[in-house]
Amino acid sequence: MFPAERRRMILERVRDDGAVSLRALAAAMDTSEVTVRRDLRALEAEGLLDRRHGGAVLPGNLAYEPTYSEKSQRAAEEKAEIALLAVELVDEEDAIAIGAGTTTQALAKRLTRFRDLTVVTNSLLVAQVLVRARGIEVVMTGGSLRGSIYALVGSGAEESLMRLRVRRTFISGNGLTAERGLSTPNLTVATVDRALAAAAEEVVVLVDYTKIGVDTMVQTVPPDRIGHLVCDRRADVEEIRALLELGTQVHQPEGP
């Protein structure tokens, strides 16, 4: 593939997704990360994108937040794999918290078989999945509705979480790096995600390969607070290695 064609494809991906990891670009174009990194430097020099640690975003796009529809269409198979692994970190009689997101919604679908479980959530979509599960008590946070992600945010959500304690919080985000941890482009969402993490003895991060190596504007969970990372097999190897060195337990599907 000629450089001009590769760079056109890179721009299309960045414009479609808002942010994309180096590994995802290399896989999509069947080329090396070294080659993609060179292309990103060239495109940044032209002002067509901004490079970030492990990926690229649209110019000035640290604050880009994809819509729920955009998120739900990305890496659907990987999210299902992540949910299948994450449910193994939940036990009967647990009290857990689940944040908003399409990956955490996939986890919720795997929880309906439990007979005795308490789930704290600010996500309307998670609550909707669990509402008919007889063995699950759903505790909703307070807060104001953020329609783009179908979740409750704001001081009401934060204050209600301050009074709670759970064994594990399962949370997602828009970016994850070993340097900054989990991040999101929206400050309002970030403050609630921080409160969800603070309510837990242990934090479990659920992200697919398109988020790993990507950094967005607001840190939600620092890397040393991430007890478990559940991701798919396409996740960036260097970032995974760095997180393992920090003490994070990493769970990935077996196989090629």
Same domain, 119 and 234: yes
Mean pLDDT, residues 123-143: 96
Q: Residue 136 has what pLDDT?
A: 98
Q: How far is Cα 181 from Cα 107, in angstroms, rounded to an integer?
A: 21
**pLDDT grade for 63, boundaries at 50, 70 and 90:** very low
User: Kind of pairing, strands 95-98 and 55-57?
Assistant: unpaired
Q: Total domain count for the chain?
A: 2
Same domain, 13 and 134: no
Same domain, 245 and 211: yes
* Tokens (6 digits) for 195: 């409160």
Same domain, 142 and 19: no
**% residues pLDDT > 70 (the chain):** 91
Same domain, 161 and 237: yes
Same domain, 26 and 107: no
Q: How far is Cα 89 from Cα 35, in angstroms, rounded to an integer?
A: 38
* CATH code of the domain containing 11: 1.10.10.10
Same domain, 131 and 170: yes
Give me Rg for the CA atoms of the chain.
18
Computed over every residue of the chain, the mean pLDDT equals 89
Same domain, 41 and 13: yes
Q: Could you list the residue range(s) of the whole structural domain that residue 79 is in?
A: 68-251
Mean pLDDT, residues 222-236: 95
pTM over 0.85: no
The answer to whether 137 and 118 have CB atoms below 8 angstroms apart is: yes
